[in-house]
Amino acid sequence: MMRLHDHITSGNGYKVRLLLTLLGLPFTRVEYDIDRGATRTPGFLRLNPNGRIPVLEFEDGRVLAESNAILCYLAEGTRFLPADRFERALVLQWLFFEQYSHEPNIATLRYWITHKLMNDERRAQVEGKRRWGYAALEVMERHLAEHRYFVGERYSIADIALYAYTHVAGEGEFDLARFAAVRRWLERVAAEPGHIPITQA
C-alpha cells in the first residue's frame, strides 16, 4: 500500500489525500511534527532531501515529493487531468501559479498564524505576503467570474491544488468577502462527490 508522509493541517498534504480518496486508492499516513524539525532528520532527508512533506512512497520504495507533481502523477489517465495537450498545459500553468504566486503568501501566513510562529523576520514579510496573496485571489476571481472550474469547465487537479489553501485562507486572516466568484467555486468543489475535509486523515 502507498504511504503518504504528511502533516494533517498541511494544505499540500490535503491535496494528495483528497485526490487519493477521489480515486479510491488506499493509503496509509505517516504524520510528522513539522514545527519540531521532524522533516529535517537524516531519516527524512533520505526520503526527501528538500525536507518537506508531502512525500508519496510507493510499495516498491520509490518516492515522489512536491504536492503538485504527486497530483500530476496520480491524475494521469483519470478524469482529473485533461487528455488534450493544451488543456494539460493550462492545468500545469495553474499548478505553477499556485506554488509561486498563491501558496508562499496565503499558505505561509496561515502557517505562521495558526502555528504561532511569528517572529521579527517573519513579521517584516507579512505586509508583502498579504498584498501578493490578495493579488493571487484577484487573478483567481477574474478567471472564475467567467469559468466554473480552472480548466476546460471541469473539476481537475488545478482546482484541487488551488482549493487546498484558498478554502482555509481565513485562517491566515484573508477576507474572501469581495471574491464572490471564488466563494461560489469553493462551494462547487466542496460539493463534488467524494469530497473530504482537510482535517480527515
Residues that bind its own copies (CB under 8 A): 49-50, 62, 64-70, 72-73, 76, 85-86, 88-90, 92-93, 95-97, 99-101, 103-104, 121, 124-125, 127-128, 136, 139, 142-143
Min. distance of Cβ 166 from its own copies in angstroms? 15
Residue 81 in contact with residue 156, Cβ under 8 Å?
yes
CB of 137 to its own copies, least distance (A): 12
151 and 89 Cβ atoms separated by less than 8 Å = no
Q: Give the number of other Cβ atoms within 10 Å of residue 38's Cβ.
A: 17
Q: What is the closest distance, in whole angstroms, from the C-beta atom of residue 180 to its own copies in the complex?
A: 17
Closer residue to its own copies, CB minimum distance, 63 or 201: 63
Closest distance to its own copies from the beta carbon of 33 (Å): 20
Nearer to its own copies (CB atom), residue 37 or residue 100 = 100
Crossing angle of the two packed helices 85-97 and 157-166, in degrees rounded to 10: 10
The residue among 68 and 156 lying less far from its own copies, judged by its C-beta, is 68
Q: Give the nearest distance from C-beta 112 to its own copies in angstroms.
A: 13
Nearer Cβ to its own copies (21/99): 99
Q: Which of 85, 192 has the CB closer to its own copies? A: 85
Question: What is the b/e burial string over 100-138, where b = at least 16 CB atoms within 10 angstroms of the residue's CB?
Answer: ebbbbbbbbbbbbeeeeeeeeeeeeebeebbeebbebbe
Q: First vs last Cα of the chain: how many Å apart?
A: 16
Residue 68 CB, nearest approach to its own copies (Å): 5
Residue entry with cell 488551488? 162
Toward its own copies, which CB reaches closer, 34 or 194?
A: 34
Q: Determine contact, residues 2/191, Cβ cutoff 8 Å.
A: no
Provide the residue type at 64 as one letter.
L
Give φ, ψ of 54 to 5 degrees. Answer: -85, 155
